[in-house]
Structure 1
């Protein structure tokens, strides 16, 4: 009992500690497990880019902008940083020749979120490594025209979420969801063009409500089919 306030100090004794000062004394194996648990927690990493022009007027990305801080574990101490950069392969991505900026990413765990317009500026390293992605779609009518080629080149992309920036778009028939139809047709068209393409699982989401408006199940239409093979008659 606190003689000045009359309150009990037993509550403080049951409060969980905010620090664990004995952590450095734990066996190395346990410390590495703790770092590993923290390093494999999925993150949504928001990326945008600063666009510019070359001397001859060609559009380029001057640099990419990451709107998340660097993974905090990489700043704890040398042991944690070494574990993150080696065992868990956090490496620099989103680099350009005109800037020394970069972002540490592990595509096994990190989900990249960006405007769809950023796709055309991604480099070969990002296109090859991308596994999970969230795209903010500003204009569904031209999404396929501008972006499907890049998505098809992402051979390791497993999951893709498309966020409708302006909500769902409806035509004269209120029972038809034009936005979902357009986006679905873009992906189906790419699949019929290359039946062997391993399409990611695609979710079409209303950015205002968070509701899922449509889903395209992933996978190829014809396992093992390659460009140059006879086109399957049942897909004609």
Structure 2
């Protein structure tokens, strides 16, 4: 506002539109649990628009979220587009806490075995955490950050319950490199590793939709595997 002095003379309706559209799409909102029973907090910097003035805080797209009755903590969030990143161990804490905004979260990014926590393998996650997704009825996208490489997670997307999130919107991300596999690339990636990066011809992965006697199926599987030669896509991790 200090660089545009006439702003305060604009009609309120126009100023409201400015505040409403002042948000960052796909902002990564890191989510942490404070001392037991003291609510939640975030190390992510608060949105600049919430610090502009009282009017901006009143009309901006960000809302005070994750409030727990009796505790003053809150987190500025726009859950229709924020990527909520949390440790897997917090999924049960969040799902069991009476926080209405939990049901509006659309994008989760789950950290597994990061920052010194015990290793979480696919089977452990499946039995301990996958059923927690039912507590997020608006979930549309989900990332899982792993620190033991992607190979062990190749079948994980297809075999896991993701609630309302379609499997095509799930990514398994290597927390060290940012490389990821999804429903479309997980199978070819496993084939790529199993065949010594395309040097062999024997597949270990079972694909019920694949007919080894069908030339077209054989060709398509080979071509999909050889796409891995270009390398996996990456996401930028903070």
TM-score range, shorter chain: 0.5 to 0.7
Residue of 56, 81, 89 corresponding to 2:57: 81
Q: Is the 8 A contact 1:63 1:98 kept in 2?
A: no
4+ runs deviating over 6 angstroms? none
Residue 28 (str. 1) matches residue 12 (str. 2):
yes
Q: What is residue 103 of structure 1 aligned with on the other side?
A: 75
Residue 68 (str. 1) matches residue 44 (str. 2):
yes
Equivalents in 1 of 2:156, 2:19: separation in Å? 44
Residue 207 (str. 1) matches residue 157 (str. 2):
no
CA-based RMSD: 2.6
Aligned positions, number: 172
What 5-or-longer segments of structure 1 have no aligned partner? 1-17, 53-60, 169-176, 191-196, 217-236
Equivalents in 2 of 1:210, 1:102: separation in Å? 30
Equivalents in 1 of 2:53, 2:34: separation in Å? 32
Q: Is the 8 A contact 1:152 1:199 kept in 2?
A: no
Q: Give the 3 Å change call, closer, same or farther, for CA 81–51 of structure 1 in structure 2.
A: closer
TM alignment of 1:59-208, pairs within 5 A? 61-84=37-60, 88=61, 90-97=62-69, 99-122=71-94, 123-124=97-98, 125-138=100-113, 139-141=120-122, 142-168=124-150, 177-187=151-161, 198-200=164-166, 201-208=169-176
Equivalents in 2 of 1:49, 1:41: separation in Å? 24
Tell me which protein shows more strand as a share of its residues.
Answer: 1
What 5-or-longer segments of structure 2 have no aligned partner? 114-119, 185-238
Larger CA Rg, structure 1 vs 2? 1
- Out of 116-125 and 69-78, give the one that drifted further: 69-78
**1:99-135 superposed Cα distances (whole Å, 9 cap, x missing partner):** 3211122211222111111101002424312111111
